[in-house]
Structure 1
Amino acid sequence: MSPAQQRALEEGWARWGVDYSPQDLLTPERLQTLFGRTAPLGLEIGFGMGEGTLAMALQRPEWNFLAIDVHGPGVGALLKKLAENNVNNVRVMRHDAVEVVRHMLPQAILEGIHIFFPDPWPKSRHHKRRLIQPPFVELLSERLKGGGYLHLATDWQDYAEQMRVVLRAESQLENTGAGFIERPDWRPLTRFESRGVRLGHGVWDLLFWRRK
């Protein structure tokens, strides 16, 4: 963690940070206290260095966003960006996302979920460590409101295929298209992705909706 990221973490956590507490369920009333308003809630899991999170927050000022990651430098980088842009519709958690979703998010609380470029764990023996697995997708689906969406993106084709299989098998979700989609305008193009595109890497997006 750089000195600037560490400083942003120390100075910004009180304003933008949310501590993990299984007893502190993020009910609508609790979210009203955290954000100072009632608004549609989006969840982002694994925000990297926060570029995309900032872009979406600025693009959708009418939404609130809960951004979760375990990577200290990334958390510090995002807090620094939020401070520099005086953004108030993002709250940040530094904890395991599966535990946060399971223990702190009530059912039917989310309008949208973004999971962009999760760790692909490319070796076959490590595939079981991938985040997108049936039990977690079921958990996420239960946290979506009817009509809410789950948006995934990856630059690993075999992971993309696994994601599609898992999402299609989840009975709470439906896909209005044939499968993969072009990157929607609302998903920011990060420096990481831009570099991959220049190098000829493929990117696969999946968008599924919670059945009403």
Structure 2
Amino acid sequence: MPEAPIFRDEPVSFVRRSGRMSDAQERAFAEIAPRMMIDVPRSIASTSVHPDARLDVAAAWQREAPLIVEVGTGQGHAIVAAATARPAENFLAVEVFRAGLARTMLDAERGGAENLRLIEANAPEVLGTYLPEASAREVWVFFPDPWHKVRHNKRRMVRDGFGATAGAAIEDGGLLRLATDWEDYALQMRDVLDRAPEFERAFDGEWAERFDGRVMTAFERKGINKGREIRDLVYRRTPRA
């Protein structure tokens, strides 16, 4: 059996910052997190995942249902809206910023999204090893940090090898959906995934149509107001051998 990849040998796609939590955020972690957040076995860092750990999906949601995973959920607007609108599916938010996780939990509680769970961890480790093979119907990567300075491009999440990482979690025929407001990152995403044997294009032309399951957020609107074009991509997981 091949050894699990050691993700901390590569630069992570985030710099973790922390600040004082508000009373509401503290309440989210004290009262909501025990039923909504998944306790992840750690490895060498506070946001790492032990390479031998595997999520019991049915136990985490206490049911069998299609699983939709969003990595880098930020404030959680997209995934909370989707989970609220689609109660028959299971949704998983993956994020490292505690303020964003708290906001997501508070909004999910307010909206009655009982089908949402959260993981505080580095997304490639969740996709590559923690989620069981082929357990996700879809994986979403919406507006990841572009790391637009050339010297920081190596931190981008969608880089060489990401196809294999995301492809491990997605079922055959499942979808990988991406969106960004940075043109050069969109081009990099497309180049990386066009070359990944785990995926094939699920769109015609240069770019995919805007995913109608993604709500318009303040973040996306800000990019549009600054004159940046939003580019969507969608890829289908190819059959495993």
TM-score by length of 2: 0.83
**Deviation, structure 1 residue 17:** 0.4
- Equivalent position SS for 2:161: helix
1:198 corresponds to which residue? 225
**Deviation, structure 1 residue 85:** 1.6
Distance 1:82 1:59 in 2: 11
CA contact (8 A) 1:172 1:210 kept: yes
Residues 51-92 of structure 1: CA distance to partner in whole angstroms, max 9, x if unpaired?
A: 111111122211101111000100000011111122111100
Counterpart among 69, 87, 90 of residue 64 in structure 1:
90
Residues 94-144 of structure 1: CA distance to partner in whole angstroms, max 9, x if unpaired?
A: 111122223311211110000100000010011011000121221111221
**Deviation, structure 1 residue 199:** 3.4
**Deviation, structure 1 residue 145:** 0.7
- Equivalent position SS for 2:26: helix
CA contact (8 A) 1:17 1:93 kept: yes
Is 1:167 aligned to 2:167, yes or no? Answer: no
The runs of at least 4 aligned residues of structure 1 exceeding 6 Å deviation read none
Identity %: 37
Residues 13-70 of structure 1: CA distance to partner in whole angstroms, max 9, x if unpaired?
A: 11100011234412xxx22211121000111101111111111112221110111100
Distance 1:133 1:195 in 2: 25
Counterpart among 73, 93, 96 of residue 119 in structure 2:
93
Q: Which amino acid aligns with 1:125?
A: R
Counterpart among 54, 63, 74 of residue 25 in structure 1:
54
Distance 1:136 1:168 in 2: 12
CA contact (8 A) 1:113 1:151 kept: yes
Q: Which amino acid aligns with 1:14?
A: P
- Equivalent position SS for 2:146: coil
Q: Which amino acid aligns with 1:33?
A: A
CA contact (8 A) 1:57 1:65 kept: yes
Distance 2:117 2:178 in 1: 21
Distance 2:168 2:125 in 1: 14
Q: Which amino acid aligns with 2:115?
A: N
Kindly tell me the number of residue pairs found equivalent between the two proteins. 209
Q: Which amino acid aligns with 2:220?
A: E
Over the aligned positions, Cα root-mean-square deviation in angstroms equals 1.3
| Structure 1: 5+ residue stretches without partners | none
Is 1:209 aligned to 2:229, yes or no? Answer: no
- Equivalent position SS for 1:113: strand
Distance 2:85 2:232 in 1: 19
Q: Which has the higher helix share?
A: 1
Q: Which amino acid aligns with 1:100?
A: V
CA contact (8 A) 1:119 1:130 kept: yes
Q: Which amino acid aligns with 1:87?
A: A
CA contact (8 A) 1:179 1:206 kept: no
Say if 1:198 and 1:120 are closer, same or farther in 2 by CA, change over 3 A.
same
- Equivalent position SS for 1:92: strand
| Structure 2: 5+ residue stretches without partners | 1-20, 42-49
2:214 corresponds to which residue? 187
